Amino acid sequence: MNPFTFILLLLLTPFISPGQTNRKTISISDNLQLVWITNHVWAHVSVEEIAGFGQVSSNGMVYINKGKAFLFDTPVTDALTEVLVKAISDSLKSEVVGFVPNHWHEDCMGGLKYLQSIGVESYANELTIEEAKKRNLPVPAHGFAESLELKLAGNLIECWYPGGGHTKDNIVVWLPDEKVLFAGCMAKEMKSKGPGNLSDADVENWPSTIGKVMKKYKNVQLVIPGHGLWGGPELLVHTLELVNKIN
């Protein structure tokens, strides 16, 4: 085994071992997996190089219903996003019809250009669209200010902007039929000892933002963070404790 493959295995192993050994996992490539969450929800877990941080493992979410799929965050690159979309088609027998990024960073919308090239509709916080335009990035097609309700074959998808946190534009996505909250990089895994990358953070408002999320989604059963192991609402409590320490 070469050193690079060994490092990838170390990075990916936590997603399919502690507390999640019963999760069905589809290994698409050395640096991309699909992990079953609920009947209609999968996490996509990818490892890619991010400038300034090295090899980083990132989470996204796939919501599937009646042969259609919504994608929440992409892998870092267009190339890996193309591999993911093909796997969703081949392995999950579903067509990606919509996309929503958590915020403007590359580990959320690095594959948007590819999605646009195949006609996938994209939706984002207006603040995310502003950042994309300012930074000369691919721009999501449809914007919303505070909240947006989408439907996937009749099932509700709620996108909500509770305020700044990891970035000033970060949102959460709530799937009420699944009781799953995709919080992205706004939420930290339980192993986290700190709030992570603060280069674009809204440190002052992060605690109140997490508080709003906790108050609004009291019946959440599963929280998926942008990086690391997912879990229950305790991730939100842990994140609040972490961000309170930096204020």
- Per residue in 54-68, pLDDT (tens digit) is 788 999 999 999 999
The pTM assigned to this predicted structure is: 0.90
Verify whether residue 200 is a known catalytic residue. no
In a domain, 73, yes or no: yes
Q: Annotated catalytic, 44?
A: no
Instruction: List the helix and strand counts (H, then E) for the chain.
Output: 7, 13
Q: Is residue 1 part of a domain?
A: no
CA distance 83 to 149: 28
Q: Is 134 a catalytic residue?
A: no
Q: How large a percentage of the chain has pLDDT more than 90?
A: 85
pLDDT(1) > 70: no
For residue 15, tell me if it sits in a domain. Answer: no
The whole domain housing 54 covers: 20-244
> Is 169 tagged catalytic?
no
Longest dimension (CA), the chain: 49
Total domains present in the chain: 1
Query: Is there a contact between 132 and 138 (Cβ–Cβ < 8 Å)?
Result: yes
With beta carbons less than 8 A apart as the criterion, state whether 103 and 169 touch: yes
Q: Exactly one of 107, 108, 168, 170 is catalytic; name it.
A: 107
CATH number at residue 138: 3.60.15.10
- Asked if residue 59 is part of any domain, the answer here is yes
| Residue 142 appears among annotated catalytic residues | no
pLDDT band (50, 70, 90) for residue 14 = very low
Over residues 125-144, the pLDDT tens digits come to 999 999 999 999 999 999 99
Catalytic residue (choose from 31, 102, 108, 166): 166
Active site residue 107: yes
185 catalytically annotated: yes
Catalytic residue among 40, 44, 105, 238: 105
9 domain residue, yes or no: no
**Domain assignment present for 80:** yes
The secondary structure of the chain in percent helix, strand, coil, rounded to multiples of 5, reads: 30, 30, 40
Instruction: Give me the pLDDT at residue 117, please.
Output: 98
Q: Judge whether 214 lies within some domain.
A: yes
Query: Collapsing DSSP states into helix, strand and coil, what is residue 141?
Result: coil
Q: Residue 247: is it exposed, middle or buried by C-beta count within 10 angstroms (0-12/13-18/19+)?
A: exposed
- Active site annotation includes 159: no
From 103, 108, 155, 159, active-site residue = 103
Q: What are the backbone dihedrals phi and psi of residue 170, each rounded to the nearest 5 degrees, phi first?
A: -65, 145
Mean pLDDT of 178-191: 97
Beta strands in the chain (DSSP E): 25-29, 32-38, 41-50, 54-65, 68-72, 95-100, 121-125, 142-144, 147-152, 155-160, 172-175, 180-184, 222-225
Q: What is the pLDDT of residue 48?
A: 83
Residues in the chain: 247
Own/partner long-range contacts of 229-237 (Cβ < 8 Å, ≥24 apart): 229/14, 229/15, 229/18, 229/19, 229/20, 229/189, 229/190, 229/191, 230/37, 230/43, 230/59, 230/189, 231/19, 231/189, 231/190, 234/190, 235/183, 235/187, 235/188, 235/189, 235/190, 236/183, 236/187, 236/210
Tokens at 21, concatenated = 């050994």
The pLDDT value given to residue 242: 97
Cα dihedral 88/127/110/185 (nearest 10): -80
pLDDT digit string (tens) for 36-91? 999 999 999 999 877 777 788 999 999 999 999 999 999 999 999 999 999 999 99
d(CA 109, CA 2) in angstroms, rounded, equals 30
Using CA atoms of 101, 30, 92, 107 in order, give the dihedral in degrees to the nearest 10. Answer: 0
Q: Answer whether residue 187 is part of any domain.
A: yes
